[in-house]
Structure formats: C-alpha cells, structure tokens
Structure 1
Amino acid sequence: MPIPQDAPALDRSLLRDDVFRRLRDAIVDGTLAPGEQLRDIELATWLGVSRTPVREALLRLGEAGLVAASPGRSTVVTGLDLRAVRDARDVVAAMHEVAVREAVARLTAADVRAMKAANRRFRDALRAGDAEAALAADDELHGVPVRVAGNRAVEIVLDQFTPVLRRAERLRFSTLTGRGSIALHDRLIAFCETGDADAAAGVAFATWHSLDPADPADPATPTPGDPA
C-alpha cells in the first residue's frame, strides 16, 4: 500500500528511537506491507522529520530483518521469514528466561499486581479479538521483570530481536490459540509471587518458545516441569 498521507507528524525534537519505533510498528501492523518499497524522502515527509533519522531507522530495521536493501535499489519490507522468526524466538526466549531469573528476588508486591493486571487486559483483548491491545498488554506483562532485572545487555538484545517476532505474535493473538498464553502468564506470575526463580524462568522461556511462526494456530507448548 502507498505511504499514508494522514498520519500525524512526529515532533522534530524526538530521537531516532521514536522514528525507528514508528516505522517498526507500521511494518508490524501491515501499514507498510511486505514487498513495499520504502523511500527515505517519502518516509521523512510522512513522519515530519529529516532523512537522517529515517536512514538510521532503516538500517536498524534491516538488522532486525524487517526490511531488505539491495545496492542501487529501494529498500523493501520483507515477508515473514520463518527461519529468521524462529532464530529470533529462541534468542528472545532465552533473554526473558535470564531476566525473570534475575528479577524474581527483587519483584515487589506492586510489580506482581502490575503483571496480574496486564494479564487481565491481555485476556480481555484476546476475547475481544483485539490483537493490538493484546500485544500491548503482553509487552507490559513481560516488561515488568525485564525492567526489574535491569540487565542492559538483555534489554539491548530484546530491542533488536523482539521486532522480528511481532508479525508472528499478531497472527497468534488474532486466533483462539493465543488464549493458551493466558495460562502460561498465570503460571509465570504464580511462580514470581512465590519466589521460585527457576520455575518462573522456565515458564518465561516456554511462553516465548511456544510461538511457532509456521503455524500460529498450534497450541502453546506445555511448560517443562510444570505440574499437570
């Protein structure tokens, strides 16, 4: 589809990260479709910024596998590369496992309440068929232990590879299969609340590793070591 003409411009004072997130989200939600050519001057006009942060964002999106550029040709939005998604899924699952294991001992009652509230919003969004709201609630829930862990290396890796999973997550959360994540979230929160770092880390890994880009309708995989 053509570059949208009616989107609000970004404040020129915003950093390059905001341009990156805006373009990333446009790719994830289908505003910028697979195969679409991306010209930095058109994107800069759309976002109301100079071409420099757009070019930097396109480079980052290329590293994440969301766009591809060939010498002398325009940058294009890539399709869903199953191998790339699986590779990213494995890395993201491992990083969340590390973050949860480091965070559990430092989680406060308020942190746990925030995770529970996010899971309720996640459940309600899935029941309403609102994949966008489900993604936001899922991000909020998993973001709590990442924030509490405070591991900058983990945050950098997640920032690079999580965007690769977004389109697969959207497909999953658009189906009834996505509801399997509700129970996994409940288990994660329960182990966090009781202070069982190893069990919580295992659930965190299983939650992310259950994402199968080849078939979003596959049921969530069981949690290793979790009682039936």
Structure 2
Amino acid sequence: MTLDEYAIYCMPIPTEARPPRPLLRDDVLDRIRDAIVDGTLTPGEQVRDADLATWLGVSRTPVREALLELGRAGLVRSSPGRSTVVSPLESDDVRDAQRVVAAMHRLAVLTAVPRMTAVDLDRMRAANARFAAAHAAGDADGALVADAAFHAVAVDVCGNSAARAVIAQYEPILHRAERLRFASVEEGRDSAARHDRFIELCAAGDAESAAALAEEIWQALVIDASPTDPRHEETP
C-alpha cells in the first residue's frame, strides 16, 4: 500500500472541536457533594461506597474516588479500616473555609472587574433577582443556587483556574451553613442589598472596592455553623 493509498484508507482526524463531556467521576462527586450540602446526607451519617454506588447506578470505583476528594475538602471523614461518615458541621472548619474562600473571591474580583462587560453585569443582576425572589418565596435551596450563580460571574471572568479550584473545593463547606442562614428573611434582604452594591462598584470599574466588598460578603455571610434554623432563633 502506497502512502497515498494509506492516507485515503485511514480515517481522517476530526478537526472540529467537540464540547467537553463531564467525566463520570465528576458527576458522581457532584451528586454526593450536593447530597451533603442539601442535608440529604446528614452530619455524622455513615456512608458506604456500595450503597452510594447502588443509589447512583455506577460502579464503586468512581464513588471511592469521590469520597477521597470529599475527604480532602473536609466534607467526609474516613479512618483506615473503619467507616466513612459525613463530617459534622463544626464552627472551626467553617471559619477556616470562610477565610480561604473570601480571600480567593477577593483575588478573583480584582482581576475580573477590569474585564467585565455589560453582559457580565446583566448576568449578576439576573442572578440577584432570582436570589431575592427565592428568599421571598422561602426557597433556601433556590437562594443558594442563585447566590452561587451571582458569585460565579467574577470567578469565570477572572480566568484564574487556581482560584476557581480552591473555591470549588472549600465553598461547599460554607454552603452547608449558608443553607440555614438563607432561611432568614432578614438575611436575604441584606444579602441582596450587598449584591446590588457590588454590581454598582463593578459597573463603575472600582476593582479595589468591589474586591473588598466581595471579601466582606463572604466573611459576613456565615456567622454560625450551628445546625439551628435561624427562623427559630430568639431576637436578643
């Protein structure tokens, strides 16, 4: 077979890029992490890879990989030869994650603001509108989703993959506590107002002030990691 014949015979390599497909292990990681954040898997609950594999309809291998990653993020705890359990919601862990996430968001905003377009600002406005509507409806889960979409704009625009990775690892620890705080109507109004102010600063191109406010939002958002519904707390 000549080289020309071989070139005709062989299948050409596609030159058109295909959209990336999420890996199965990433899907499994997301599903288990979401179940921990939304309370489906409760603090202290024992998790077995075989049970999770059956629930998700996958083999045990991606489940084990996901549990290792969740262990590094502090969402589960495992001991050699012993069971794996969902980590309790402890104040020290929340505060540690809070400081790291706040610092990464500050860094992301400093880089993102000069690059933001009108489309990016509109994305934040739309997300904050959904956030406020979810609070008004008493939908804490919807508020979390909208809040995540709001803050994701700056993280996406900044293009810092390292900051994105750190935020993705530690932000779920905060989401567990935030879900309880977001049930408070007052907390929702305050958060929506801070979001509005943040958008104003970004629109004005004030990167320093926007970054400082972003850090403040994350530092102030989670006040107490106690699993007490804030709607039942007494006002001092």
User: Same fold by TM-score, threshold 0.5 exceeded?
Assistant: yes
* Amino acid across the alignment from 1:50: S
Identify the residue that residue 112 of structure 2 maps to in structure 1.
103
Asked whether the equivalents of residues 132 and 188 of structure 2 are also in contact (C-alpha less than 8 Å), the reply is no
Alignment of 1:30-69 (within 5 A): 30-69=39-78
1:113 aligns with 2:122: yes
Identify the residue that residue 216 of structure 2 maps to in structure 1.
206
Identify the residue that residue 190 of structure 2 maps to in structure 1.
180
* Amino acid across the alignment from 2:208: D
* Amino acid across the alignment from 1:82: S
SS in 2 for 1:30: coil
Deviation at residue 184 of structure 1 after TM alignment: 0.8
TM-score (norm 1): 0.87
Range that drifts further, 144-153 or 13-22: 13-22
TM-score (norm 2): 0.84
Q: How far apart, in 2, do the equivalents of 1:196 and 1:85 lie?
A: 29
* Amino acid across the alignment from 2:161: R
SS in 2 for 1:80: coil
Task: State the aligned residue count.
Answer: 205
Deviation at residue 50 of structure 1 after TM alignment: 1.1
Q: How far apart, in 1, do the equivalents of 2:119 and 2:201 lie?
A: 15
Structure 2 residues without counterparts, runs of 5 or longer = 1-21, 231-236
Identify the residue that residue 169 of structure 2 maps to in structure 1.
160
Identify the residue that residue 18 of structure 2 maps to in structure 1.
none
Higher alpha-carbon Rg: 2
**Residues 2-60 of structure 1 deviation map (CA, whole Å, 9 limit, x = unaligned):** xxxxxxxxxxx842111111001101111111121111011011101111110011011
Deviation at residue 84 of structure 1 after TM alignment: 0.5
Q: How far apart, in 1, do the equivalents of 2:224 and 2:57 lie?
A: 34
Q: How far apart, in 2, do the equivalents of 1:96 and 1:128 lie?
A: 28
Deviation at residue 214 of structure 1 after TM alignment: 4.2
Q: How far apart, in 2, do the equivalents of 1:150 and 1:132 lie?
A: 27
* Amino acid across the alignment from 1:87: D
Give identity over the alignment, percent. Answer: 60
Deviation at residue 126 of structure 1 after TM alignment: 0.7
- RMSD over aligned CA atoms reads 1.4
Structure 1 residues without counterparts, runs of 5 or longer = 1-12, 218-228
